[in-house]
């Protein structure tokens, strides 16, 4: 019974932990402009993150090595430093977006200006990283994040034209009925943004370091695989529900998503104040959880690259550089937000830059997952490698196309 409860808990937190500010904003923007015509990208992204997370989790459980230790060992100093710089900066950008997201969600709940919430949110993130046990941190934010299921409930309450949504999803076209016609390049730009939102690299740093934090071993592999393979696809369905809600409510009225209040508009229209209460709890939990994950990831990447002692399982004084790095990153994020930059805009850029940086983390993991020195008999099987190669191509194409598309489309304007 306890075992079953543990399994259920793992799956539920994986669902709740799947969504972050990037998924919320990008799915909503895409839904309001393209309907469900980009739904296939969410599915491609979810399969990709399942593959990628499962592989990095297995590497961590078998060899006890987290992603960034491996990146330096495998790529050497030159490519390793370039990789660290890119991954670290994009992670910092995501961290900034998540802390801003917490503040925006709290603003919707309280009508207090977001710049007053930002320091509170950042301090709360630090306090949890400083004091709270890893598993409690993961479970609480994951379970509270489950209230985002209200997005799916709202979709049913809206009584949408299911046939129309299905047509959009299964016969994708750049201009679905009722929408403003968009350029093909804009469509593909948002395809990359959506792909980057589903496959954010920090999830992989966090997942593999978390496996080391929680001292996974080979016997935990089955459980971790179940969490990923069930939890993430269900999280992906929530992503699709957000896009579908936006397609039903925002798209016909041509409402552009420029802030969180438009993201929650479909839920408000369907379920009123009660639904809004649920969705705000969910957004605060999801963005706060992601802010914790990105803060920890900034410490993980630096400490693992330079070989410092790291981990929440140690006393802070025994992982001093790891903790000071996280404090500095939070302060930098707060400084960026203090300039008055719009967190939603930061989010939109961060998901595209995530797509650009994906090959940097993906390739070393694929190499090590095939290396018997690290993995023994747990190297990738043929099916995993076949998928791995297909995704390597997809990730490379998305990464290379992202910057040209960003310039051509004026960042999706």
Partner 1 sequence: MIARRQQAGANPRRIDARLSLLDRQVLDADRVPVQVVGDLELSHVSLDHPIPPGTPAPVITALLSGPVLATRIFGGRPPTSRLHRIDWADVAEIDVALSLSVRGDTLDVTWVERWVSEHIIGRIPGGHSDPQ
Residues found near partner 1 in the complex (CB under 8 A):
63, 65, 69, 72-73, 76-78, 80-81, 130-134, 303, 305-310, 312-313, 315-318, 320-321, 323-324, 373-374
Query: Measured between alpha carbons, how far is 139 from 122 in angstroms, rounded to an integer?
Result: 20
The upper half-sphere exposure of residue 182, i.e. CA atoms within 13 Å in the direction of its Cβ, equals 25
Per residue in 132-151, is it b (16+ CB within 10 Å) or e — as a string? eebeebbbbbbbbbbbbbbb
Residue labelled with tokens 């299964």: 170
Rounded to a whole number of angstroms, the minimum distance from the CB of residue 315 to partner 1 is 6
Comparing CA positions, the residue from 45, 30, 60, 91 lying closest to residue 301 is 91
Structure-block tokens of residue 56: 């990095």
Checking 336-343 for CB contacts under 8 A at 24+ apart, the result is 336/96, 337/96, 337/99, 337/100, 337/103, 337/115, 337/118, 338/115, 338/118, 340/115, 342/259, 343/21, 343/96, 343/97, 343/99, 343/100, 343/101, 343/103, 343/104, 343/114
Q: How many CB atoms lie within 10 A of CB 157?
A: 16
Q: Please identify, using beta-carbon distances, which residue of 269 and 371 lies nearer to partner 1.
A: 371
Q: Please identify, using beta-carbon distances, which residue of 45 and 364 lies nearer to partner 1.
A: 364
Q: List phi, psi (to 5°) of 109.
A: -80, -30
Rounded to a whole number of angstroms, the minimum distance from the CB of residue 81 to partner 1 is 7
Rounded to a whole number of angstroms, the minimum distance from the CB of residue 322 to partner 1 is 9
Rounded to a whole number of angstroms, the minimum distance from the CB of residue 40 to partner 1 is 39
Q: Please identify, using beta-carbon distances, which residue of 45 and 210 lies nearer to partner 1.
A: 210
Q: Please identify, using beta-carbon distances, which residue of 310 and 362 lies nearer to partner 1.
A: 310
Q: Please identify, using beta-carbon distances, which residue of 304 and 347 lies nearer to partner 1.
A: 304
Rounded to a whole number of angstroms, the minimum distance from the CB of residue 132 to partner 1 is 7
Rounded to a whole number of angstroms, the minimum distance from the CB of residue 76 to partner 1 is 6
Q: Please identify, using beta-carbon distances, which residue of 147 and 208 lies nearer to partner 1.
A: 208
């Amino acid at each position: 019974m306890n075992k079953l409860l543990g399994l259920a808990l793992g799956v539920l937190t994986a669902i709740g932990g799947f969504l972050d500010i990037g998924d919320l904003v990008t799915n909503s923007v895409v839904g309001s402009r393209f309907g469900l015509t980009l739904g296939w990208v969410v599915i491609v992204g979810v399969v990709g993150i399942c593959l990628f997370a499962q592989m990095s989790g297995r590497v961590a459980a078998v060899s006890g090595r987290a992603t960034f230790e491996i990146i330096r060992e495998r790529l050497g100093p030159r490519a390793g430093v370039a990789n660290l710089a890119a991954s670290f900066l994009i992670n910092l950008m995501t961290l900034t977006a998540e802390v801003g997201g917490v503040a925006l969600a709290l603003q919707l709940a309280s009508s207090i200006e977001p710049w007053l919430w930002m320091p509170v949110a950042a301090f709360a993130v630090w306090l949890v990283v400083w004091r709270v046990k890893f598993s409690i941190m993961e479970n609480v934010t994951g379970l509270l994040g489950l209230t985002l299921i209200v997005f799916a409930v709202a979709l049913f309450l809206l009584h949408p034209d299911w046939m129309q949504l299905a047509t959009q999803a299964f016969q994708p076209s750049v201009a679905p009925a009722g929408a403003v016609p968009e350029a093909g390049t804009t469509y593909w730009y948002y395809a990359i943004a959506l792909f980057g939102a589903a496959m954010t690299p920090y999830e992989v740093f966090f997942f593999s370091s978390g496996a080391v934090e929680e001292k996974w071993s080979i016997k935990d592999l089955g459980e971790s695989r179940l969490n990923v393979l069930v939890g993430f696809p269900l999280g992906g369905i929530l992503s699709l529900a957000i896009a579908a809600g936006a397609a039903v409510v925002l798209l016909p009225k041509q409402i552009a998503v420029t802030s969180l209040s438009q993201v929650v508009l479909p839920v408000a229209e369907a379920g009123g104040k009660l639904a809004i209460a649920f969705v705000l709890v969910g957004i605060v939990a999801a963005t706060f959880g992601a802010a914790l994950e990105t803060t920890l990831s900034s410490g993980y990447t630096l400490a693992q690259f330079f070989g410092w002692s790291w981990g929440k399982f140690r006393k802070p004084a025994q992982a001093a550089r790891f903790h000071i790095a996280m404090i500095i990153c939070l302060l930098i994020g707060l400084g960026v937000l203090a300039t008055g930059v719009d967190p939603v805009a930061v989010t939109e850029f961060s998901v595209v830059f995530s797509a650009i940086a994906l090959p940097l983390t993906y390739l070393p993991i694929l190499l090590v997952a095939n290396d018997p020195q690290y993995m023994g008999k747990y190297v990738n099987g043929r099916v995993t490698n076949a998928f791995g190669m297909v995704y390597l191509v997809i990730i490379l194409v998305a990464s290379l196309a992202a910057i040209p598309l960003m310039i051509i489309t004026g960042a999706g304007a």
